[in-house]
Structure 1
Amino acid sequence: MKASNVSETLFNHLNYRAERQKVISSNIANINTPDYKTKELSFESQLKEKNRQKDLELTTTNQRHIKEKVDNSNRPKMEVYEVENLQEQNDGNNVNLDTQMSEMAKNNTIFQALQASIRKDVTFFTSVIDASAKN
């Protein structure tokens, strides 16, 4: 049972952040591997593009809402791709340690904020259940 519709979105974003952490860690681990190319996840850019196109799925929470036909084949997916046009070292590797460490710190901060939001959402949901039980 999910606490709210918001918590599902938060958990999806939390999963994305965990996958992104793996990709960043892999980049750092391969900093001395010849011809290794920096990897990134495409989910965030696809989501921004969908948002720009106003093509995000609508949710109906009431039977009186207008129903929309949804084509789920176009949903954004997390895909790892190689980042192009980065400065390469002599061995063909293009991983920049400073950039990756900065991205890891940013990702970790967002991850912690998402965890705090989920805890707050669950606490709110629990307090609503407790209040309704007292009536």
Structure 2
Amino acid sequence: MKPSTVTDLLFNQLSFRSDRQKVISSNIANINTPGYKTKDLVFEQELQKVDLGKDLQMSKTNSMHMNGFNETSNTNQAKLTQVKGLEEQTDGNNVNLDTQMSEMSKNKMIFDALQSSITKDSRLFRSVIESSQKN
């Protein structure tokens, strides 16, 4: 039983934020990888607004790269995309540490707010149940 109809949306957003944090962490981990391009996780509806021509998939070009982003992102209708228009370094890498740290901080604040909302939603549901038991 769900506390409210909003709960599914909150949990989906929480899952998306968790997956996005993994992508941002991967970008930061690859800051010194030649040719690495910054990735981002976006909702499918947002992707449809932009004509990309093809799906961008992560490819494992080194046995030391992490696995699993595409499996988790599909559960909440999000897509992993390459961020376009970023300034590249001489080695072809376009990860900007300041931007990624800022995105990570913003993502964590939203994640924390979602967790707080879920907690409040659950408390409200619990109080309704406890009130109904008294009658």
CA distance in 1, matches of 2:42, 2:115: 22
Give the corresponding residue for 1:53: none
Q: Secondary structure at 1:23's aligned position in 2?
A: helix
CA distance in 2, matches of 1:104, 1:41: 12
After superposition, the C-alpha distances for 1:60-91 in whole angstroms (9 at most, x for unaligned) are xxxxxxxxxxxxxxxx8211011111000010
Give the corresponding residue for 1:121: 121
CA distance in 1, matches of 2:4, 2:107: 24
Gaps of 5+ in 1: 50-75
Q: Secondary structure at 1:9's aligned position in 2?
A: helix
TM-score, normalization by structure 2: 0.76
* Aligned residues of 2:44 and 2:77 also touching (Cα < 8 A): no
Shift of 1:41: 1.1
The alignment of Structure 1 onto Structure 2 pairs a total of residues equal to 109
CA distance in 2, matches of 1:45, 1:37: 23
Amino acid of the structure 2 residue aligned with 1:28: I
Give the corresponding residue for 2:17: 17
After superposition, the C-alpha distances for 1:11-39 in whole angstroms (9 at most, x for unaligned) are 00000000000000000000000000000
Shift of 1:45: 6.1
CA distance in 2, matches of 1:121, 1:44: 27
Give the corresponding residue for 1:133: 133
Mean Cα deviation higher: 114-123 or 77-86: 77-86
TM-score, normalization by structure 1: 0.76
Q: Secondary structure at 1:2's aligned position in 2?
A: coil
Structure ID, larger Rg: 1
Gaps of 5+ in 2: 50-75
Identity value in percent:
63
Q: How does 1:40-119 map to 2 (within 5 A)?
A: 40-43=40-43, 46=46, 77-119=77-119
